[in-house]
């Protein structure tokens, strides 16, 4: 039997109270070498594949409503995930502009922009502090937060698809 060891304790915030990783551990500030960058990109790509497969399987199905009759429909969930990824990309220090309005084209463009920004951030090409003084997300924290969000909504779709 393998025991887990606590390596760091963090005070959470309102995001943590919701269940998301809202506070990065100190280890997320460590430099990212090329092997780790590849691992992070592979992990993120696997999360995207899981989300896309789940959304594809749920296409055309009605999503079960919550206990009070609420909940987003599939297209709204997909749009929400894309908007969050766009926002998270800015927190990493990347940029995304598109004239494209088709969700699938936008999805692939945002994801490519994310992978490009991860490379730039890992190589130190993006300053750790933004122009307005805000601290940017590190590549490790960015992947941790993005992966959690993508999978959380994949599981939501799975749970609610009838």
Task: Report helix angle 34-58 to 139-160, nearest 10.
Answer: 20
Does 32-59+71-160 carry CATH code 1.20.120? yes
Query: Tokens representing 25?
Result: 């551990």
- For residue 106, what pLDDT is reported? 81
CB 158 within 8 A of CB 54: yes
Task: Note the pLDDT tens digit of each residue in 108-119.
Answer: 899 999 999 999
Mean pLDDT across 57-69: 85
CB 29 within 8 A of CB 106: no
Spatial CB neighbours of 109, under 8 Å, sequence gap ≥ 6: 96, 98, 100
Reply yes or no on whether the pLDDT at 70 is more than 90: no
Mean pLDDT across 95-113: 76
Query: Tokens representing 123?
Result: 């190589």
CB 71 within 8 A of CB 63: yes
Give me the DSSP letters along 21-60: --S--GGGGS---HHHHHHHHHHHHHHHHHHHHHHHHHTT
* Least confidently predicted of 32-36, 50-54, 120-124, 125-129: 125-129
* Per-domain boundaries in the chain: 32-59+71-160
Mean pLDDT across 143-158: 95
> DSSP assignment, residue 20?
S
């Amino acid at each position: 039997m393998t025991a887990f060891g606590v390596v760091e304790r963090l005070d959470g915030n309102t995001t943590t109270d919701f269940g998301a990783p809202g506070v990065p551990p100190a280890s997320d500030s460590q430099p990212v070498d090329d092997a780790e960058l590849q691992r992070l990109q592979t992990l993120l790509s696997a999360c995207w594949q899981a989300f896309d497969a789940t959304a594809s399987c749920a296409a055309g199905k009605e999503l079960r409503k919550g206990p009070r009759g609420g909940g987003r429909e599939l297209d709204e969930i997909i749009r929400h995930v894309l908007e969050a990824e766009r926002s998270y990309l800015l927190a990493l220090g990347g940029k995304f502009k598109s004239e494209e309005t088709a969700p699938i084209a936008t999805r692939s463009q945002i994801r490519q922009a994310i992978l490009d920004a991860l490379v730039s951030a890992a190589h130190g090409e993006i300053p750790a502090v933004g122009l307005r003084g805000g601290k940017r997300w590190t590549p490790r924290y960015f992947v941790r937060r993005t992966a959690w969000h993508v999978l959380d909504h994949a599981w939501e779709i799975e749970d609610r698809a009838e």
